[in-house]
Amino acid sequence: MDIPALGQHEKALTIFAQRNRVLASNIANADTPNYKARDIDFKAALNTARQDTISLTQTSDLHKQAWGTTKEGASTMYRMPTQSTLDGNTVEMDVEQAAFAENALKYRASLAFLDGKIRTLKYALKGSE
């Protein structure tokens, strides 16, 4: 449900949660040979969420996607490592942990903003108590 008074924060929270899952998966697979680190382009995902008109459907099992897609629809991209490893794994723990912490902070900030908006709307409806 899209509530105009809440702005884009509702959609942003969904994308932040998706990105947290992708980054957590990267961290969990840090020692998995040939695992390729992935990430979500937040700006592109939010633009897609705003449009809500573009949807791609896989009509055949032979269709391959160049980018992965989370079950909510945000595109995941592979991250290019700054230093290659012998086992083919592209997860760099410091990069992943920093991205995870930054994303979690943005999620909490967006959630706090929404909380303030909802409190303001409740106050406007009920008045002071």
In the predicted model, what is the mean pLDDT of the chain? 80
What is the pTM for the complete model shown? 0.70
Task: Tell me whether residue 97 is in a domain.
Answer: yes
Task: Tell me whether residue 107 is in a domain.
Answer: yes
- Convert the pLDDT of each residue in 44-82 to its tens digit: 887 777 665 444 556 655 544 444 455 445 678 888 888
Domain boundaries, position 75: 8-51+65-126
C-alpha to C-alpha distance for 81 and 118, rounded to whole angstroms: 41
pLDDT above 70 for 92: yes
Task: Tell me whether residue 29 is in a domain.
Answer: yes
What pLDDT, on a 0 to 100 scale, did the predictor assign at position 39? 92
DSSP letter, residue 38: E
Task: Tell me whether residue 56 is in a domain.
Answer: no
What pLDDT, on a 0 to 100 scale, did the predictor assign at position 64? 46
Task: Tell me whether residue 31 is in a domain.
Answer: yes
- Convert the pLDDT of each residue in 14-27 to its tens digit: 899 999 999 999 99
The domain tally of the chain equals 1
What pLDDT, on a 0 to 100 scale, did the predictor assign at position 84? 77
Task: Tell me whether residue 2 is in a domain.
Answer: no
Task: Tell me whether residue 76 is in a domain.
Answer: yes
State the CB neighbour count (10 A cutoff) for residue 110.
Answer: 19
C-alpha to C-alpha distance for 56 and 82, rounded to whole angstroms: 32
